[in-house]
């Protein structure tokens, strides 16, 4: 490896050739401010906050400037500080500075940097462009009055997810981030994944807030309000309360939900186990009976909408299973309602999800039974955190409590649904036992773990080779689907998650500032916590869950039965514009 020697603020540094000044400075413990930069997503040098002196005639953007042998870099001179401060004031001069009421207050990179740069006044306050807030999407709100045009949302949408429904329009002072032809976000091919939100450094993008309707339901004496949190929520929620990234807060989560006033606290993990029973049986049926292969998982609503919109020819390949939280909603309003003599019309199901696309999913007419939606409201991990704070609950000091029994019990296989490769591994744990006809001890399929964009493997079970693949993020899904279309792959089973890294870094999870993402990868840290939770549980296979066994014995009969299909399976819509 070729090394380059340079000095940064008088400190001798050696880094590999091709390293940027920004990265080199960080390796030396020197922090250079950034706004438009987002590691592995956006490196364009547009905001000019990372300006440094390299001895050239003009200051250079450290995020795109490669190091060179003998380079002498200064990051903290009066001229640099003044340039950064002027650039910040120019950004603020056309910014909606209602910080106290902004959803990103205290987690806004613009706000943080303005404070660090010592900006106490804006010398260039003048004409402001006023934009209409775009509320057309069921999941995402766009407020260009707060946009700083860093382009991080564009890079996430086009560069990472390969969707590209937003981009720059206009020139100069009239530039803005829009959908093509003045369309609204709800009218274009957005898949509702929310990766633009987690990339945004300010409050220009946020999830559609459903917290008030949840509070209203809790306060309604005629409603029986059930809440269910997804697996990924428990390894991220603590970050909203100052806890270390990847801290597992399962017990505190149950305790907080109980104190908020929900009537029952169930667990989406229960339905993840149920999903494996239905999906695994469906896979075996397709393999044994000549069904459509490869079968592709259907847990991720962003991925489902992506297929419906951009690759409708793969709709027959999708598992017909509803996603886990929709399954649990259906079970609550049927099996649970009957067992407890509750009118399903009075049951209100709230899902706490790491995902903004779940908001869109819950409104799909296909996900209902007897005229009742399976899930009535979806709130993100961030929204739940805001509700806990609003309720005055001291989350960090809460004791650990359990989820309510009956529909609140899950296995380790269910927990790992939150990480890319988790659904595949959970399915293999059950399918392997069924095909082998015995309880296997080897249950960890490490070949499908990790954050690589596309993972491929061949698993031999009962003498039968099953070719599998896992992809995370729709940009990687595109590569996989094109490979299948070209006849270059022959898989039986594919898992695809719409978000990079899977649900642990979904669009509704706590937002990690760019400077933290430079040194810590939330995909890795949160997934590690997911697998630790799995390893700590006594039951780690979905078909071993006694509550699931009881559901089939008392109500469904067997996986993929007629009743199971009525409640737990769905159909899809061709959304492509032909």
Which residues belong to the active site? 279, 282, 299, 319, 358, 361, 366, 503
Q: Using CA atoms, how far apart are residues 174 and 239, in angstroms rounded to an integer?
A: 37
**Helix/strand/coil (H, E, C) string of 291-336?**
CCCCEECCCCHHHHHHHHHHCHHHHHHECCECCHHHHHHHHHHHHH
Query: What angle separates helix 211-219 from helix 381-390, to the nearest 10 degrees?
Result: 50
Q: Using CA atoms, how far apart are residues 29 and 23, in angstroms rounded to an integer?
A: 10
Q: Using CA atoms, how far apart are residues 322 and 275, in angstroms rounded to an integer?
A: 8
For the residues of 187-248, what is the DSSP string, one character each? GTT-----HHHHH-SSSSEEEPP-HHHHHHHHH-TT-EEEEEE-GGGGGTGGGGGTPPTT--
Residue where the block lists tokens 């099996």: 335
Please count the other Cβ atoms lying within 10 Å of the Cβ belonging to residue 162. Answer: 16
Residues 6+ apart with CB under 8 A from 10: none
Look up residue 18 and give its DSSP letter: T
Token duo for residue 247? 């801290």
Judged by DSSP in three states, 512 sits in coil
User: Where would I find the H helices in 30-130?
Assistant: 78-93, 109-116
Identify any residues that bridge with 72 across adjacent strands, giving them in sequence order.
7
HSE of 431, CA atoms in CB hemisphere, 13 A: 28
Q: Give, in order, the Cα–Cα distances in Å from 18 to each of 21, 38, 68, 288.
A: 9, 18, 8, 52
**Torsion over CA of 426, 432, 434 and 440, rounded to 10 degrees?**
-100
- Rg of the chain over Cα atoms, rounded to whole angstroms, equals 25
Q: What angle do CA 492, 545, 330 make, to 5 degrees?
A: 80
Buried b (16+ CB within 10 A) or exposed e, 47-59: bbbbbbbbeeeeb
User: Where would I find the H helices in 324-444?
Assistant: 324-331, 337-339, 357-362, 381-390, 412-415, 422-436
HSE of 518, CA atoms in CB hemisphere, 13 A: 22
Token duo for residue 237? 């929620």
Q: Using CA atoms, how far apart are residues 36 and 216, in angstroms rounded to an integer?
A: 39
Sign of the Cα pseudo-torsion (373, 377, 381, 382, in order):
positive
Token duo for residue 480? 């996989």
CB 163 within 8 A of CB 191: yes
Peptide bond connecting 178 to the previous residue in cis, omega within 30 degrees of 0: no
């Amino acid at each position: 490896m070729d090394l380059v020697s340079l000095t940064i603020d008088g400190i001798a540094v050696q880094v590999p050739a091709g390293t940027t000044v920004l990265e080199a400075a960080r390796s030396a413990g020197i922090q250079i401010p950034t706004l438009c930069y987002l590691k592995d997503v956006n490196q364009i040098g547009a905001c000019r906050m990372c300006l440094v002196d390299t001895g050239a005639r003009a200051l250079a953007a450290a995020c795109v400037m490669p190091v060179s042998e003998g380079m002498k870099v200064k990051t903290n001179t009066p001229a640099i500080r003044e340039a950064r401060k002027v650039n910040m004031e120019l950004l603020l001069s056309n910014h909606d500075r209602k910080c106290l009421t902004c959803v990103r207050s205290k987690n806004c990179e613009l706000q943080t940097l303005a404070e660090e740069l010592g900006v106490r006044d804006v010398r260039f306050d003048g004409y402001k462009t006023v934009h209409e807030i775009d509320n057309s999407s069921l999941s995402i709100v766009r407020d260009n009055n707060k946009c700083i045009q860093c382009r991080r949302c564009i890079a996430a949408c086009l560069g990472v997810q390969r969707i590209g429904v937003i981009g720059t329009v206009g020139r100069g002072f009239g530039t803005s981030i829009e959908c093509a032809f003045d369309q609204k976000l709800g009218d274009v091919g957005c898949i509702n994944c929310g990766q633009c939100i987690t990339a945004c450094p300010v409050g220009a993008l946020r999830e559609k807030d459903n917290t008030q309707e949840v509070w209203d339901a809790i306060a309604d004496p005629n409603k029986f309000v059930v809440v269910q949190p997804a697996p990924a929520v428990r390894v991220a929620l603590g970050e909203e309360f100052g806890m270390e990234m990847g801290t597992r807060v399962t017990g505190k989560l149950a305790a907080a939900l109980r104190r908020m006033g929900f009537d029952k606290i169930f667990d989406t993990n229960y339905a993840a186990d149920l999903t494996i029973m239905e999906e695994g049986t469906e896979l075996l049926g397709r393999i044994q009976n000549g069904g459509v292969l490869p079968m592709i998982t259907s847990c991720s609503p962003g991925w489902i909408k992506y297929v419906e919109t951009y690759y409708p020819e793969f709709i027959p390949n999708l598992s017909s299973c509803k996603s886990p939280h929709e399954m649990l909603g259906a079970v609550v309003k049927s099996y649970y309602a009957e067992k407890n003599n509750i009118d399903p019309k009075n049951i209100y199901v709230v899902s706490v999800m790491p995902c903004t696309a779940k908001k869109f999913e819950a409104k799909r007419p296909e996900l209902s039974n007897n005229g009742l939606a399976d899930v009535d409201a979806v709130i993100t991990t961030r929204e739940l955190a805001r509700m806990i704070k609003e309720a005055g609950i001291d989350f960090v000091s809460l004791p650990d409590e359990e989820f309510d029994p009956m529909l609140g019990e899950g296995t380790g296989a269910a927990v790992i649904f939150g990480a890319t490769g988790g659904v595949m591994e959970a399915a293999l744990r059950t399918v392997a036992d069924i095909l082998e006809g015995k309880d296997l001890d080897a249950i960890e399929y490490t070949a499908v773990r990790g954050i690589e964009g596309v993972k491929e493997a061949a698993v031999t079970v009962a003498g039968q080779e099953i070719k599998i693949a896992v992809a995370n993020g729709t940009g990687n899904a595109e590569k996989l689907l094109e490979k299948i279309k070209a006849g270059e792959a022959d898989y039986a089973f594919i898992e695809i998650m719409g978000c990079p890294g899977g649900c642990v870094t979904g669009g509704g999870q706590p937002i990690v500032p760019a400077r933290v993402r430079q040194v810590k990868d939330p995909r890795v840290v949160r997934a590690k916590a997911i697998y630790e939770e799995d390893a700590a549980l006594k039951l780690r296979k979905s078909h071993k869950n006694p509550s699931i066994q009881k559901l089939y014995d008392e109500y469904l009969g067997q996986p993929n039965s007629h009743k199971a299909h009525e409640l737990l399976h769905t159909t899809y819509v061709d959304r492509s514009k032909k």
